[in-house]
Structure 1
Amino acid sequence: MTDFIRFFIPIYFILFFLVSFLGISIAVAKKIGKNPNVLPKDDSAYALVGLYFKLVLMGLFMYTSLLLLFPDIIMDAFKISVLDSDVFQYIGIALMIFSFIWVIVAQLYMKDSWRIGIDDKLKTKLITNGVFSFSRNPVFLGMTVSLIGFFLLLPTMISLIFFLTGNILIQVQIRLEEDHLLKQHGETYETYKKRVGRMLSLY
């Protein structure tokens, strides 16, 4: 299992970034004629959240690269032994694969409305069908589940920190985006909020 984890985790996150962010962004950019990455680069609090997101991604890339180069050291360093079992590892793999597919499906439903950040210059369509009928934030839900899977597959204090930090940033971003959508769509979004949960609604 060590050799599998060594290669699976870095390849997974590389594919996740290339397909779910870079690939989708390029496709949307061609359709709308602008870069869908609209994270601000000023000194605002929102820009700081975006910077922290980038730092977490850089840290995750470095950590998984070290896992590829020094698997025994990384897997043993700060290990949470109580979670170190084949059962949790298989659950982690399943969650990561499921979340990858879930995120891609959610992005396909968003079509031209896909953005990295808040687009306050162009009104986007409110998507409420498909996976958006189960979650108001299916992409963020998928990202959260992937980090849970990552932690179960590689149960160390460092992967736990990535999960906790990533989840905090995701929750802040969600609330910023929800305030923006409420301003854009008003009563329509308010009705949608009452019908569908922030992360997940089970019927």
Structure 2
Amino acid sequence: MPIVHALLFGATAIIGRILVARKRYHRELSFSNGDSVQDLVARCFYLWLPIVDGLFLLLSCLTGNRGPVLIAIADREWVRWIGVACMAISLASVVVSQAAMGAAWRMGVDLAERTDLVTAGPFAFSRNPIYVGIRGTMLSQLLVFDTWPMLNIWVISELLVHLQVRFEEAHMRRLHKQRYVDYCARVRRWL
């Protein structure tokens, strides 16, 4: 089930949005091969983490070997089903949030383009609902694959998402100034 989710997530949350972005004539991937910390974090978060995560899921599904279990309680079937349900909710959250962003959606920070400040829909409850969905997905995978390798992937994803959000929020503050500061005062970063 997690490999199916990963494929659905990739197809709807990433590839689908890139196709929509191309029709609207803007750069959908807003990070480069530059030497800045911001570019490195974006590459790790948007490129290398999904590759490592996808390979782990694929190998686990193909071999049936998940690796050493973290704790015995997490090795129960009902915990895995909670994880699967959370994956579905997280995927839906990401898709709805990306749709709410419309033409403002990007992967990374693009200093050359001005985007709208989206504050409606899911963005009325969280400044980063897409990242909340991604965090939910990674936590769900940890519930399904309760192993040390998945714990490492989850920890790295948490570190990267926190760094990426900081870069994006600093960019939004520069771009939208007081309007963004007021938005931050009303709406929490996560939930």
What's the TM-score once normalised by structure 1's chain length? 0.90
3-state SS of paired residue (2:149): helix
1:94 partner letter: A
Whole-angstrom CA distance in 2 between matches of 1:170 and 1:41: 19
1:185 aligns with 2:168: no
In structure 1, what residue type is equivalent to 2:29?
A: N
Q: Would you identify which runs of 4 or more consecutive aligned residues in structure 1 move more than 4 Å?
A: none
**Match for residue 44 of structure 1 among 32, 36, 53:** 36
Aligned position for 1:55 = 48
Alignment of 1:23 onto 2:13: no
Q: Is the 8 A contact 1:141 1:199 kept in 2?
A: yes
Deviation at 1:55, TM superposition (A): 1.8
Percent of aligned positions that are identical: 28
On the 8 A contact 1:150/1:159 being kept in 2, the answer is yes
Alignment of 1:103-182 (within 5 A): 103-182=94-173
> What residue is the counterpart of 1:14 in the other structure?
7
- Cα distance, 1:98 vs. partner? 0.1
Give the partner amino acid of 1:79. Answer: V
Deviations 1:33-84 (A, max 9, x none): 133101121111111112322222111111111122101x22xx21122311
Unaligned runs of 5+ residues in structure 1 are 1-7
Q: CA RMSD in A?
A: 1.0
Per-residue deviation at 1:156? 0.6
What are the ranges of 5 or more consecutive residues in structure 2 without an aligned counterpart? Answer: none
Asked whether the 8 Å contact 1:96–1:145 carries over to 2, the reply is yes
Deviation at 1:153, TM superposition (A): 1.2
Q: Could you tell me the TM-score, scaled by structure 2's length?
A: 0.95
Q: CA deviation at 1:119?
A: 1.4
Correspondence for 2:60: 67
Q: Distance in 2 between matches of 1:58 and 1:36?
A: 19
